[in-house]
Structure 1
Amino acid sequence: MKQIVFFGDSLTQGYGLRDPETASFPALIQKTINENGGGFNVINAGLSGNTTFSALNRLKPILEMQTDIFVLELGANDLIRGHSASDVEANLQYIINQVKQHHPSAPILLLGIELPGWIPGAKAAGYRNIYNRLAAKNEIHLVPFLLEGVAGIPHLNMFDGIHPLAEGYEIIARNVWNTLKTILEATQNKPGN
């Protein structure tokens, strides 16, 4: 069976959910895949607190997994901790390079993070186009804003205003599925599949 690896932070892991194994957005995507005929197994390799720096420390074993599609979601914690935009972009590029080297035929889907309005303009400027730039440069797929329709909506988020509640993750799963389903269809229709 083909495998989709979701590599990210708490947003991928499903931080704070009662049952991340069924309510995180990768789990919800697995449910949707199963309802649409299956054929793909989802691996949730999200780890709460990961930055693009700390994620590099656990990348090697992830790259050793069977990977037919790689979904990359990182960067929110870097922003919160004040890491430079150039470092974040370089780290994401390194991860993309490693995935391409280890799994050259696996499509990559990059999940973008937008900045909250309270981030000062000077600090935010460098972050604005990281994901668009990386997607264009590497010719990979992009969901421009993972939290579209969820960020800033109190009843969809936990008390911290950062992590979604289960209802928020349902919206996120739909956001990702809209792009991922076309990748799945293309992967299934490749010669030899």
Structure 2
Amino acid sequence: MGNSITIGWLNTHPDFFKNKPYVNRGISGQTTPQMLVRFRADVIDIGAKAVVILAGTNDIAGNTGPSTLEMILDNIKSMTEIAQANGVKVILCSVLPAFDYPWRPGLEPNVKIPKLNTLIKNYADRNGVYYLDYFSALDDGNNGISKENSYDGVHLTLEGYKILEPLVEKAIKKVLE
């Protein structure tokens, strides 16, 4: 469940998804309220056993208007609660680093994303939810992503996705044990 980073994974590295029971539910540009609206249809109604939620960067970018970090977290909590109420295991991902947004510069995602990630991690820890730290795996040391791993500072290259692949596979295996 996610945005352009999620659907970009399928488009950039389709072989990762071959012969696996994974369903990619990424829609470019979406924010957490939009994901929440489609969560039941895209996760619960298809009989998913686990869901990987990667969400929040487009909220920080203001794609559908202003959002506080608390509003973003509330939507992530709601998706988590819907999943758990339906027996679906949840993996909450940190938001990927972004020093700035090329389509909306000056919003300081390099400051806001780490704060949101702390909120997501604290919620996951308090509620026994698996937290998957993508941020640390991709951080270039300045709360951004290197040019090798991202073509625009937000969206990943094949090399970037290859860093995440063993991490997500480990998380999926762990929650389904």
TM-score range, shorter chain: 0.7 to 0.9
Q: Which has the larger radius of gyration?
A: 1
Work out the percentage of aligned pairs sharing the same amino acid. Answer: 22
Matched-pair contact (CA < 8 Å) for 1:157–1:164: yes
Which residue of the partner structure matches residue 141 of structure 1? 130
- Relative to its length, the structure with more strand (as a share) is 1
Shift of 1:11: 1.1
Corresponding letter in the other structure for 2:150: N
1:49 is aligned to 2:38: no
- Label 1:14 to 1:135 Cα distance change in 2 as closer, same or farther (>3 A): same
Looking at structure 2, the residues matched to 70 and 9 of structure 1 have their Cα atoms a distance apart, in angstroms, of: 14
Shift of 1:122: 7.6
Shift of 1:144: 2.0
- Label 1:125 to 1:154 Cα distance change in 2 as closer, same or farther (>3 A): closer
Pairwise CA RMSD of aligned residues? 2.7
- Label 1:120 to 1:111 Cα distance change in 2 as closer, same or farther (>3 A): closer
Which residue of the partner structure matches residue 37 of structure 1? none
Looking at structure 2, the residues matched to 87 and 108 of structure 1 have their Cα atoms a distance apart, in angstroms, of: 19
Matched-pair contact (CA < 8 Å) for 1:147–1:172: no
Q: TM-score, normalised by structure 1?
A: 0.72
Q: Deviations over 1:120-158 (max 9, x none)?
A: 788567524121122113211111235723652112211
SS of aligned partner of 2:24: strand
119-128 or 79-88: bigger deviation: 119-128
Q: Structure 1: 5+ residue runs without aligned partners?
A: 1-6, 35-39, 187-193
Looking at structure 1, the residues matched to 40 and 173 of structure 2 have their Cα atoms a distance apart, in angstroms, of: 27
Looking at structure 1, the residues matched to 166 and 109 of structure 2 have their Cα atoms a distance apart, in angstroms, of: 30
Shift of 1:80: 1.5
Q: TM-score, normalised by structure 2?
A: 0.78
- Label 1:127 to 1:65 Cα distance change in 2 as closer, same or farther (>3 A): same
Matched-pair contact (CA < 8 Å) for 1:10–1:46: yes
Which residue of the partner structure matches residue 6 of structure 2? 12
Aligned residues: 162
Looking at structure 1, the residues matched to 109 and 89 of structure 2 have their Cα atoms a distance apart, in angstroms, of: 35
